[in-house]
Structures are given as C-alpha cells and as structure tokens.
Amino acid sequence: MTKTSPSFDNSRPLDLICMGRVAVDLYAEQVHSPLEDAQSFRKYLGGCAGNTAVGAARLGLKSAMFSCVGTDDMGAFLRNTLEKEGVNTALLRNTPEHLTALVLLGVNPPDRFPLIFYRENCADMQILPEDVNPEILQTAKALLITGTGLSTPSMLKATRQAVKVAKKSGCALILDIDYRPVLWGLTEAGDGETRFVASAKVTRELQPFLSELDLIVGTEEEVLIAGGKETLASSLSTIQEKSSATVVLKRGADGCEVFSPNSPAPISARSFPIEVLNVLGAGDAFMSGFLRGWLREKSLETCALYGNASGALVVTRHGCSPAAPSFAEIDYFIRNFDRIPALAHHPKMQQLHLRTELGQPQKEELLILAYDHRTQFEESCRENNLSFDYISRFKEQVYEGFQKVRKSNKKTGAPAAERLAILIDPDYGQMILNNFADAAYTIGVPIEKASSFPVSWLMEDSLYQHLLERPATWFVKVLWRFHLQMNQENKDIQLSQLHKLNSVCAALKRKLMVELIIPEGYLETGTTLGEAMAEVYEAGIYPFWWKITALDSKEEWQTMTKTLDQYDPEVGVIILGKNAPIEQFQTWFRVARSTPHTCGFAVGRSIFWEPWEQYVGGKLTIKGIADAVAERYNSVLEIWSKTQD
C-alpha cells in the first residue's frame, strides 16, 4: 500500500482550513422536472469550500471555513449552519456591503442537473489579503484552495497571499480545481451546468500554483483545464512536470485514480455502483472522504476508498452539504455494501444519516416543562362549568412561569439555561407558538389528536404539508399507545401510523419524540416497554427520543436498556412524570440516570396541576400562576441536577 504524504504535525488543533465558496443552495423539490417548472425549493448550505468544510467535520476532522458572508439573513443561516456542524468560523468574515451568494439547482437524474449561480459581486468573493491570519494558519495541518478563488483579480491576490503564508506556516496545500466555466465568464450567465470550456486564460491562472501544492483533486475536465492540453494523458503529464503533488482524478461512478510521485502506477480502490439521484455535491463529498484518510496519514488506497464511499452515498441524496455522511455512515456502507441490497436506502443507513444531520440525542439534554395536555384540562373545565378559554389563559401564564425560570438561569449563568424546553399544543397554546420566532429555547409540539386511539393526526389534510409548514426547529411529539398483546388490527394500525409519521419526519429532518404509553388494562411487566420498543425497531422505525414513564427499579430500567443497546445505542430517553409528587422524582431520576440513554425529563402536571386546581377553585389569581409554576419547575430542575451521576 502506498503511504500518503506529507507527514503532519498532530499537535496542531485544526486539520483543515477551507478557503473559497460558501453559498446558499436552493434545490428544487420536484425531481425529474425542468428547473423552470420547479414549484418549491429546499434551502441548504452549499459552495465547494463550504461543502468540504462540513463534510470534513462530519467525518471527524477539525475543519475551518475561510470566506465571507453577507450580514443578510442568508449569511446568518450559513454561519449558524457551519457552527452547528462543528466548523470553526474564526476566519469567516461578515461583509455588510455584499449579499450572500445563491444558487438555484434542479434535479433531473441521471444526467441533467441544471443550476443557476446568483453571484454578482457576492460575499464569498470578497476575501482580502489582510484576512489571511498567520496565527490561525500556524494551528492548521492543511489549507484547501479552489479554482474559483482565482477567477477574479482580487480573489487571485488573496489566494496568493494565503498560499504564501500557508507555506511559511508549515501547512500542506490542497487544490480543488473546482472549474465552473460560468464563474469565469466563459458561458452565458444562466448556464451553470456546462462543466468544460477550453480556456488558455484559466490554465494560465491555475498553473503557477501547481508547484506549491501537495494534493490536487479534479475531474477529467478539471485536469484538462489545469494541464492545458487536448488529452487527459498529456494534461496529467504537464501537471506532474510542474508539481510534485499527489494528483487525484475523480471518475464519477468508476471511483478515482490516484497518481503519486511515490508510485509508478495509478492507485485506486473499489467503487460503489449505485442508483443516482443527484450528482451535485458528490465531488465535494469525495474530497471530504479522501481528506479524512489523507490528513490521518492513511494509505492512498484507503483515502480513495473513503472518497469513493462518501461520493456514492451523496449521489443518492437531495442536496450537497446535508447529504454528506459521517464516518459511521461510510464505515457501515463499506462493510455492508455487498451484503445488503439497496443499502443506501436501508432503514439503518437512513437512521445513521438522520443522526448525522440532526445530532446525537444523548448529547442534547432537554429539561421540558410539558403542558401540551388537552383532555385533562377540558374535563376539569366541564366539571367546574368553565369556558375552555380558561385553558388558553392558564397556559399563557405557565409560559410566563417558564420564562421566569429561563431568564433567572440565564442571568446566573446556570448551565441548565441552554437546555430548558417547552412542550405545548396548538389547540390552547397557539398564541405562545405564534411568538416563538426569537425563542432561545427548544419547542416541541404534539402531532396527535388528544386521546386518540388508534392514533390520528391533528390536521385533516396532509401530514407532510402540516409539518412542512411548522418551523424546522420544533420537535414533533406523538403520544402512542402500544402493547404486544393488543389485537393484531390495532397493532397494525398503530405501527402503520407511526411508520408514516417517522417517514415524514425523516424526509423533513424533524426530530421525533415517541411517548410510549402502555394502554390501560394491559399487564405491565419488567419487560413490557423493551418488548414494545423492539417491535417498533423491527418495523424500521427509529425515534430520536423515547418519552417513557419513570421506572422504579434499576432492574426494570436495565431490561429496557438492553433493547435500546441492541437496536439503537445512541437513542435518547426522556422521563415523564405521571402527575406524581415532585419528591418522587429523586428516586426516578436516580434510576433513569444510571445509563447514558436518559437525556432529560418532560414533567407537566406535577408542576402545573395544583396551580390549575387552585386557579379554577378561586384560590389562586391569574397573576399568581407564573410564580407558582416557576417555583415548582425550579424544584424539579434542582432534583435533576442533584441526581446526576
């Protein structure tokens, strides 16, 4: 096996700095449709350098973005997305004078992928030589530059400065040739799809950099433009004459060939023949995969294998950066490709990728004040001859109590402040939801009709459309009753409905919380919950969180945990309170926190029901509700904190 080079200083905290394009991609949702007929678009982070920075971070590398974004909302979206993905943004400058670039893209497989660049004097082409920070470059193993960064005089100057400082700082240099003729003014402005136009000017701008590089990556067309010759072989030869870099030739479905100065023959790895949905972004994913091996000093065969697997997975998905896989995904894909038919669409593969996109549940602790209850409030109003308007007014005061706790925790710097959340229904909490836009906390909203069995949805029309119109940051909660001894018809309906909801949440990238309730009249044993969960997993359904009733004994909890460890070791578990006395939580939380699955609680009636009864009984004024709720919520938070192992 051929060893990669050069050797890297592993004491440097950054693996990779990606310099260049980072823009907003607007992908048509209508697949197999001409772009002019598209009706709706999905918004993603895009751009060659941006995609590579995200892809590298997902594969476990420490990456940084070196570019500019506008101060517009799209620039904020890009910065927030990069930071959420773990990409360092110390070199990402805001430019108030320029708009963030946009790209419109169509998906018409197998070979039509039209795109239109809206990049007139855009933000990511405003990098200046003085933006090059030697102190940051000295902390990085490698700097990646792109061919598009040479397409304007000002960016050419900034790239030269970056290369000069990187060489002096001991950074390896990588070139993604990234040739887009339209961005060099070689095609009509609306023709972003054309991948090759011969141009002596482009070749002249690229070639002076070749001698400085350690790694060059490009497609056949890109190697042709870098070499400046009429044939691929002669262009490769020209590049190799001018550079001692390793050259990687991307060959699409056929994988790649790696030309190393240390090897007399090109190096390759297996490819992964797969049905194509969208090739856009596959090259950036390939680069990320290759660099995962290269920067970890793996053999070039391994680098090629990682690159091929990453690119193959991305062509099966919609979008560029969101389609990029984690290392767990490419490892599973490589190991199982020949064993599992249609592996890219297997439920396990999809679950792995959803976790890549949404994050790891156990790392996202939620301390939820849950007041999405409806039936209990309505029954109480009937008993007390009260209008249902009391419910909405009361819930608004519960929300005020939540805000008191959140602001108090934030003011004192308590770590719990960032983990506080509410679970609120749209039936009686719509005013609260309407004002969520600037919320600095997590919001969950139920999807089921209150007390429905078999489960049915809040809306009469499309479940997909309903969730599409909800803010993407809201998580979806469903109260779902199930027991293995239910009659087969009810079991089938319940599983079918949950499968439908799970599929919609996966398609829209929504976090799904399944509140698993054992129906009344069915025997609960130490294995009941675990058996019900196993049935769900066997049906190919993977919730982000389970919300379950607190368990009294470690033995019962451990039995359920074995099921989770078998099917989904990273799933999160949220504990609900059953309207129990707050003092009971000390035992429950201690038991639940004995394993890493537990990542929070969703307590409701234990906090608000006594204030509600006092309110409808005339013993508590509307103004006293918020303080009463805040006091009880704080008590639960304190118990949670004290029971931490």
Give a yes or no: residue 343 inside a domain. Answer: no
Residue 317 has pLDDT above 80, yes or no: yes
Same domain, 263 and 382: no
Residues written for the chain: 645
The pLDDT of residue 282: 94
Same domain, 399 and 301: no
Give a yes or no: residue 1 inside a domain. Answer: no
In the predicted model, what is the mean pLDDT of the chain?
A: 94
Instruction: Compute CA distances 354 → 195, 457, 512, whole Å.
Output: 31, 23, 11
The torsion of the CA quartet 343, 348, 354, 357, rounded to 10 degrees, works out to -70
Give a yes or no: residue 478 inside a domain. Answer: yes
Query: Rounded to 5 degrees, what angle do the CA atoms 297, 301, 304 make?
Result: 90
Same domain, 628 and 566: yes
CB distance 294 to 144 below 8 Å: no
Give a yes or no: residue 135 inside a domain. Answer: yes
CATH code at position 272: 3.40.1190.20
Whole-angstrom distance, CA of residue 210 vs CA of residue 226: 9
Same domain, 461 and 582: yes
Same domain, 112 and 208: yes
The pLDDT of residue 436: 77
CB distance 590 to 599 below 8 Å: no
The pLDDT of residue 364: 84
Residue 583 has pLDDT above 80, yes or no: yes
Residue with the larger pLDDT of the pair 213 and 529: 213
Q: Prior bond to 454 cis, omega within 30?
A: yes
140 is in which domain, residue-wise?
A: 14-336
CB distance 94 to 265 below 8 Å: no
Give a yes or no: residue 403 inside a domain. Answer: yes
**Interval 249-270 mean pLDDT:** 95
Q: How many domains does the chain have?
A: 2
Cβ count within 10 A of residue 40:
10
Residue 362 has pLDDT above 70, yes or no: yes
CATH code at position 604: 3.20.20.70
Residue with the larger pLDDT of the pair 175 and 553: 175
Does residue 319 come out as left (phi exceeding 0), alpha (psi in the -120 to 50 range) or beta?
left
Whole-angstrom distance, CA of residue 21 vs CA of residue 178: 10
pLDDT per position as a tens digit, 50-92: 999 999 999 999 999 999 999 999 999 999 999 999 999 999 9
Q: Which residue has the tokens 């039995």?
A: 559
Same domain, 465 and 540: yes
Domain boundary among 299, 321, 336: 336
Residue 460 has pLDDT above 90, yes or no: no
Domain boundary among 336, 356, 380: 336
Judge if pTM exceeds 0.85.
yes
Residue with the larger pLDDT of the pair 50 and 525: 50
Give a yes or no: residue 4 inside a domain. Answer: no
Domain boundary among 299, 319, 336: 336
Same domain, 290 and 373: no
Give a yes or no: residue 355 inside a domain. Answer: no
pLDDT per position as a tens digit, 154-211: 999 999 999 999 999 999 999 999 999 999 999 999 999 999 999 999 999 999 999 9
Question: 145: pLDDT confidence band, cut at 50, 70 and 90?
Answer: very high
CB distance 605 to 584 below 8 Å: no
Token pair belonging to 432? 């609260």
Give a yes or no: residue 189 inside a domain. Answer: yes
Whole-angstrom distance, CA of residue 192 vs CA of residue 172: 31
Residue 5 has pLDDT above 70, yes or no: no
Residue 645 has pLDDT above 90, yes or no: no
Q: Pairing between strand 246-250 and 256-259? A: antiparallel
3-state secondary structure of 392: helix
Same domain, 399 and 323: no
Same domain, 389 and 314: no
Residue 112 has pLDDT above 90, yes or no: no
Burial state string for 449-485 with b = 16 or more CB within 10 A and e = fewer than 16: bbeebbbebbeeeebeeebeebeeebbbbbbbbbbee
Same domain, 584 and 536: yes
Same domain, 265 and 380: no
Same domain, 305 and 196: yes
